[in-house]
């Protein structure tokens, strides 16, 4: 991590959860300094390249041109040496008008950071859009935008900021979308666990907690749809996706390309998989498909198919949401995938790829039942 990255990390930590308005000015100054460091480095690199180009031209030039070239190189070397001696001082590269535009941009950036560090999230989301196209502040604006999406409970604002930050969507966007999904799930999961543990369907959440949980759940569902939009496009150069420890819900994953994906700890909740490509998948430990119609996929790797059939077969009382599969669709899906419906085996047993070759198959387990004899003998 370079100095500029370290400054950005400190600035983002100062912004934090938006509860310290006094930190906004310090954060803005740090991010401005980081941008200046990047600018100095870019100018230094450009001058070095120009110097090397001129030196190469001098070598190839006739003798009567070498004097002029050396003069030009001297002009180039002077600001380069100045940058090195002064430890990265800003070189006056833009003209006066460009400098004034930068000053105005810095002022707008400070305003955006102040809004993000306070409760004025709507203003911040509006101001940040301009900086997502800025050469100087693009990366910093994206980081602040993601932080804003994690804090805010307004789903419409979440969608608006997401659209400005990640459009146009592409396979290059997938790691960032996945990271945002993991962060949202980390916020939502403690609340979800309390709901699951609550007896008799009593809502254990306060009004504020319920609002936060619902907004995060809606945001995850929105991300699921955006992710599916990308994954329906053919992957570039055989690329695979890492969906480990990712939770998606209430969306349509039909026709997605997940061949070779890492699905370790993957939890699709009420997600449709019609015609999905789940081939060549070998990493799926602790994934939970209990409320998804995985049998509607176009193809599934043999290892994953055995795991799904053993652990997550169709159940008439399953909570599949709007998918609403039928027993007949399950039988047809298995037949199409080359399997036949059979009683589910104990999901606690290792999957075929993990089971030692010397261990007998699950059908041999009933022979171990005579454990009742010692009781009778007593």
Locate the domains of the chain by residue range: 3-152, 171-336
Measured CA to CA, the distance from residue 5 to residue 35 in angstroms comes to 10
Name residue 269's beta-bridge partners. Answer: 249
Which of 22 and 228 is assigned the larger pLDDT?
228
Q: Which of 333, 294, 299 is nearest to 311 (CA)?
A: 294
Q: How far is CA 21 from the centre of its chain?
A: 28
Measured CA to CA, the distance from residue 21 to residue 114 in angstroms comes to 7
Which of 51 and 228 is assigned the larger pLDDT?
228
pLDDT-based confidence at 263, cuts 50/70/90? Answer: very high
Extract the tokens encoding 258: 């997940």
pLDDT at 124 over 60: yes
Sheet strands (E) in 163-308: 247-252, 267-272, 277-278, 299-300
Q: What is the mean pLDDT of residues 299-313?
A: 95
Measured CA to CA, the distance from residue 226 to residue 173 in angstroms comes to 10
pLDDT-based confidence at 201, cuts 50/70/90? Answer: confident
Residue 359 has a pLDDT of: 33
Measured CA to CA, the distance from residue 211 to residue 154 in angstroms comes to 10
pLDDT-based confidence at 15, cuts 50/70/90? Answer: low
Which of 47 and 216 is assigned the larger pLDDT?
216
Residue 103 has a pLDDT of: 87
Indicate the DSSP class of residue 285. Answer: T
Residue 99 φ/ψ, nearest 5 degrees? -65, -40
Residue 343 has a pLDDT of: 54
pLDDT-based confidence at 94, cuts 50/70/90? Answer: very low
pLDDT at 111 over 90: no
Task: Write down the pTM of the prediction.
Answer: 0.66
Q: What is the mean pLDDT of residues 235-254?
A: 93
pLDDT-based confidence at 256, cuts 50/70/90? Answer: very high
Extract the tokens encoding 231: 């994954």
Q: Which of 293, 289, 328 is nearest to 311 (CA)?
A: 289
- What average pLDDT does the chain have? 77
């Amino acid at each position: 991590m370079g100095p500029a990255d370290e400054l950005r990390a400190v600035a983002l930590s100062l912004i934090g959860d938006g509860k310290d308005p006094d930190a906004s000015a310090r954060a803005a100054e740090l991010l401005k300094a980081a941008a200046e460091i990047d600018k100095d480095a870019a100018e230094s690199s450009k001058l070095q390249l120009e110097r090397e180009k001129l030196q190469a031209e001098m070598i190839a030039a006739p003798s009567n041109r070498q004097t002029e070239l050396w003069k030009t190189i001297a002009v180039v070397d002077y600001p380069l040496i100045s940058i090195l001696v002064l430890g990265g001082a800003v070189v006056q590269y833009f003209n006066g008008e460009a400098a004034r535009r930068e000053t105005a941009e810095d002022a707008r950036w400070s305003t955006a950071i102040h809004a993000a560090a306070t409760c004025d999230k709507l203003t911040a989301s509006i101001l940040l859009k301009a900086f997502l196209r800025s050469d100087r502040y693009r990366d910093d604006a994206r980081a602040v935008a993601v932080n804003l999406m994690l804090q805010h409970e307004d789903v419409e604002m979440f969608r608006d900021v997401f659209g400005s930050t990640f459009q146009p969507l592409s396979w290059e966007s997938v790691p960032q979308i996945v990271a945002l999904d993991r962060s949202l799930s980390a916020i939502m999961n403690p609340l979800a666990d309390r709901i699951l543990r609550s007896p008799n369907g009593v809502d254990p959440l306060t009004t504020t907690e319920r609002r936060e949980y619902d907004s995060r759940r809606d945001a995850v569902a929105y991300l699921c749809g955006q992710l599916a939009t990308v994954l329906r496009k053919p992957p570039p150069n055989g690329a695979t996706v890492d969906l480990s420890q990712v939770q998606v819900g209430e969306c349509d994953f039909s026709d997605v390309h997940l061949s070779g994906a890492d699905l370790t700890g993957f939890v699709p909740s009420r997600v449709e998989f019609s015609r999905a490509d789940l081939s060549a998948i070998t990493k799926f430990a602790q994934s939970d498909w209990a409320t998804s119609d995985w049998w509607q996929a176009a193809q599934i790797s043999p290892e994953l198919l055995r795991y799904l059939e053993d652990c997550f077969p169709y159940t008439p009382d399953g909570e599949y949401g709007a998918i609403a599969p039928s027993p007949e669709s399950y039988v047809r899906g298995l037949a199409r995938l080359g399997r036949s419906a059979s009683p589910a085996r104990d999901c606690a047993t290792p999957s075929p790829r993990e089971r030692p070759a010397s261990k007998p198959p699950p059908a041999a387990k009933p022979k171990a039942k005579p454990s009742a004899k010692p009781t009778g003998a007593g």
